[in-house]
Structure 1
């Protein structure tokens, strides 16, 4: 397939603005599409929609060149764009040279102030990350039934390793599936360490662990099946399962730390605003919808349906464009309380971090959407947390003390406490009113005292306190408390 040169722009294209790399840099996160951009060979690419934007650095989009649909990547950073352009081109070439399916390179060159690269556009291709999530949704509670989706990716990765290639940004989103063929993409992250020769066992193990660390922990029990798929592509290598498990655990810990750091800085996932008088972090795709709430959270709090008033916090359910949310203000009770809180992260800050920790670990909690802190330079004052509303009843309302939980609730409770125990997480105030039954899951709320412990001993001590607090919700000798005693890990 080749790109046919244009004889000239059509009348429709003449109405599309012609931009430069400098224009795209200045547009930041929001370049206006469609746009046209001149290529160094005299052709013009018309970009119809953007698929990814790294502000001021790189854009990826569906484009048309010479009447043909292409995937266009524009490298526009003031510094370093030539290096990333070359890495992308070399990565695509390395995949093709080792017979790993990847979209064909159709063109590459310079822009006015940047570089471009055109590859085959895989129409109606499925992102493997989306396929995996759909498979999990179709088989709730049965991860084994979803693992078949991963088999082609593991085989492809095995083949890459057998041919001396590694993927430094390894995730399911870097595989596309079209008409039964799996394509590896993102040449910029391909490293040809030993072209044509197998990677060493250590390099292969570390690279494989990056992919496995992104799967739910339930998948760890299926490691033999996952390795069988990998060995189908790379049969001449073997791993020590204990070493692989340790490396997967290390990568998981690193990924969690990296994600939590992102919740507090401006990036593709979160919009962060920091001034002398306030700090705001909001899930980026929610920023526009929540703009008025962020500007005056107390106005919405006062107009909402009050759920809890006075004392240490005020909580209300609010309506934003027809969507139910909850806003919680962490109050400053008096001067002494203010002085004790000035130098520490607010309780809203802790709840924000811990809510995202739980979500990252796959533990059910209402999604935290925004954090707002009033600041006085380095000092912190009143703070607010905005989260999704969870309309389900708490467990004191939902469960009958005289009976064991129904099957769905029993499964959800076992999964919740097993996950918390496995991750060494203590809640700090495990009242039944902080456990909500909603959409087939038990969701944790009120997270400002939650902690993930590095020490087994520290976690065991905190866990015993949590467990005892949970049991006190129901009288001794009742059927529900007996079931909890038997099913909640003791320490």
Structure 2
């Protein structure tokens, strides 16, 4: 078998997201690294992957960008800071310049290992205080307390930067570890702000769990006072607002999460992990619509259930009903664009809606025409057919209805067309669909006005004297 192709920083920069594998890198001094599998690529900047060097399996980070030396130095310094503080992090194997330009940082490859983000994804729907979910989250809070007690912060703090291996939890990504006060605990303000970054990524009901704050305090010990709850809540809200803005911006630009293509006639954004599987559908969405099971064929939209490799999906095309309508939409984001972003917003806040997978817009330069939205298909019945007007909803449905609207009101989100047919019962949740008019309001007053309209529209689905109408009127939040 021939040796893997030799790569240097210049060729790796030019290769974009998919350099041919395997490839070799000359580390100098007679040492070679062979990259077998890529785990993450920042095109033109950094590659992270499963590799081997000197007969040992390693996690390799290759810094190939123009400013790679600075990032490489930050990564090495962060790992050293963790080691000095006796915090668990993978062993550093090598940090060296590559013979052909660029820099390499190698750490021990932990196998088997699972990120805390993947662990939490399986448990995130558990009720607050669930024992198994707490067993996943609490060690991360304890480790963060230890980090702060050592005078360190993690500037890219998320569950994906904690790794479970052999019964232990490790901190990874030294690039984001920063020494604030070496050997001295953090001051209360930066500690609280950094803690808020982690808690803001959990569902709201989990953020103030006493057990999580206790786990953090256990790690911090006597070095740090317990966080001020009111200040922590304010910091969490600030971080969450920033994170949702960041997610919505990423949803329409090419990045790790989303694959975006722009031409003079087309815009396309798709979840990167779905891009390969959805490629045939994205290439010809109208063909998929024609072959699918038609659910609606109106002047303004056409909707069908389609099959993609045995998977049920929903394709919604936003039509232009006449010339006047087409001219009115030319300069505005399409309804598909709006629905795509709002679906990501709702899911960020834990509000049930079918997962948005891809958006396509037909364009003429800067002018927009038709759009297609592809999402997961929700097969559940709508509430108009599922609920009886003659009685209050069963306990499970009642709780799910109230939970949905409590979450929406807490985030100042309105729907804009709250027909019962836009609420589906699926998997023990009420799922929100048809997001063309969804909005998150900046002020309580603006939300109150919108919620009054939503509330009134929902109540009109059932006769005013019916038991269900009376129950909803009594139980729903008032404006």
Shorter chain as denominator, the TM-score bin is: over 0.9
1:156 to 134, 138, 143: 143
Name 1:464's counterpart in structure 2. 452
Moved over 4 A (4+): none
- What is the 5 A alignment of 1:26-425? 26-77=14-65, 79-111=66-98, 112-136=100-124, 140-145=126-131, 146-222=133-209, 224-234=210-220, 235-238=222-225, 239-425=227-413
Distance across 2 between alignment mates of 1:372 and 1:134:
30
Corresponding residue number in structure 2 for 1:6 = none
Over 3 Å counting, the alpha-carbon distance change for 1:134 and 1:295 in structure 2 is closer
The superposition leaves residues 386-424 of structure 1 with CA deviations (integer Å, 9 ceiling, x where unpaired) of 111111111111112222222222222121111111111
Deviation for aligned residue 1:84: 0.5
- Which consecutive residues of structure 1, in runs of 5 or more, have no partner in the other structure? 1-11
SS of the residue 2:123 aligns to: helix
CA distance in 2, matches of 1:246, 1:454: 16
Give, in whole Å, the separation in 1 of the partners of 2:405 and 2:477.
7
SS of equivalent to 2:400: helix
For the 8 Å contact 2:186–2:224, the answer to whether it is kept is no
1:136/1:143 contact within 8 Å kept: no
TM-score normalised by structure 2 residue count: 0.96
| C-alpha spacing 1:74/1:215, structure 2 compared with 1 (3 Å) | same
Task: Describe the superposition over 1:139-196 as per-residue Cα deviations: whole angstroms up to 9, x where unpaired.
Answer: x334443223222111111111111111000011111122232211111001012111
* CA distance in structure 1 between the partners assigned to 2:331 and 2:68 by the alignment: 41
Equivalent residue number for residue 3 of structure 1:
none
1:435 aligns with 2:423: yes
User: Would the alpha carbon gap of residues 134 and 367 (structure 1) be closer, same or farther in structure 2, given more than 3 Å must change?
Assistant: closer
The answer on whether the counterparts of 1:412 and 1:440 sit within 8 Å (CA) in structure 2 is: yes
Shift of 1:198: 1.2
Query: Deviation digits for residues 235-276 of structure 1, max 9, x if unmatched?
Result: 332332111110110000000000000001011111111122
User: Is the CA contact (8 Å cut-off) linking 2:312 and 2:377 kept in structure 1?
Assistant: yes
Unpaired segments of 5 or more residues in structure 2?
Answer: none
Normalised by the length of structure 1, the TM-score is 0.93
Post-superposition offset of 1:21: 2.3
Q: Distance in 2 between matches of 1:221 and 1:191?
A: 26
Contact 1:304–1:316 under 8 Å retained in 2: yes
Contact (CA 8 Å) 1:143, 1:218: kept in 2 or not?
A: no
Question: What CA distance in whole angstroms lies between the structure 2 residues aligned with 1:424 and 1:369?
Answer: 25
CA drift of 1:300 comes to 1.9
Counterparts of 1:460 and 1:486, CA distance in 2:
17
Over aligned residue pairs, what C-alpha RMSD do you find? Answer: 1.5
Shift of 1:55: 1.5
The CA deviation string for residues 48-72 of structure 1, in whole angstroms up to 9 with x for no partner, is 2222211121111122222211111
SS of residue matched to 1:39 = strand
**Counterpart Cα distance in 1 of 2:245 and 2:70:** 28
Instruction: Tell me, in whole angstroms, the C-alpha distance in 1 between the residues paired with 2:424 and 2:369.
Output: 29
CA distance in 2, matches of 1:300, 1:119: 46
